[in-house]
Amino acid sequence: MAELLIYDVIGAGMFDAGVTAKSVRDELDALDGDHVTVRINSPGGNVFDGIAIKNILDSYSGGVDVQVDGLAASAASVIALAGDSIAMADGAMLMIHDPWTVTLGNAEEHRKSQNALEKTADSLAGMYAAQTGKTAAEMRDMMRAETWLSANEAVDQGFATDFTTVEALACAVPAGFGYLNAPTLKAEKHEESRAQLAANIRQRKIDLTRQQMKA
């Protein structure tokens, strides 16, 4: 079974190189329809890249299972919804909140941003409601409160379907994300495992680049 790792911020140009809808699409194209496990450990990022990645995974013909290895926050929680199954690792967390942005300009520009944020939040609430069976209004309340869910809570409330015995990995949340209620996340115990994970991610990026150069 193939694996697709989402172990970075979502979207390019915000805080890091990031995972983009294009990079996910390119990796899926290289799988030739194999069933894929999408493993997530991400603090989130660009909401529209997150929505696009979810839609790409939803339309993938080979089937998708999602495994939250550490953190699926903000835009990454949207991506997690794409799984035929959604498993939470021991100690993993999922977070939903209202989207935010930065606006420069006059009062009218700020009103436009407010309207766009409200529409985006309502759209996200609909996605969460469809997954959990709760109402969109309930989802909006949870989003406004910036709700952090443990693995058990994510399953109990319908955001996830199952558990996995994999131990949760640490995830660095950029200070610029401004999360208000973030708990202390469980750290990975073994430095060697962290180093191997980083090496695996680098190698996957190298392999993908080579495939693109051949195409």
In this structure, what is the dihedral angle of CA atoms 156, 162, 168, 172, given to the nearest 10 degrees?
Answer: -70
pLDDT digit of tens for each residue in the chain (215 aa)? 799 999 999 998 655 578 999 999 999 999 988 999 999 999 999 999 999 999 999 999 999 999 999 999 999 999 999 989 999 999 999 999 998 877 788 888 888 888 888 999 999 999 999 999 999 999 999 999 999 999 999 999 999 999 998 888 878 777 777 787 777 554 444 344 444 444 554 555 455 445 544 54
Residue type, 189: K
DSSP type of residue 32: T
Distance CA 39, CA 86 (A): 10
Report the SS3 class of residue 3: strand
Strand 147-150 relative to strand 93-96, pairing: antiparallel
Class of domain 2-97+146-214: alpha beta
Contact criterion met (CB below 8 Å) for 126 and 157: no
pLDDT for the residue 60 = 96
pLDDT for the residue 155 = 97
Structure tokens at 146: 């910036």
Q: How many residues does the chain have?
A: 215
Distance CA 37, CA 157 (A): 22
Phi, psi of 106 (to 5 degrees): -85, -175
pLDDT for the residue 150 = 95
User: Which residue(s) pair with 148 in the sheet?
Assistant: 95
Of 111, 56, 101, 107, the C-alpha closest to 78 is 56
pLDDT for the residue 71 = 95
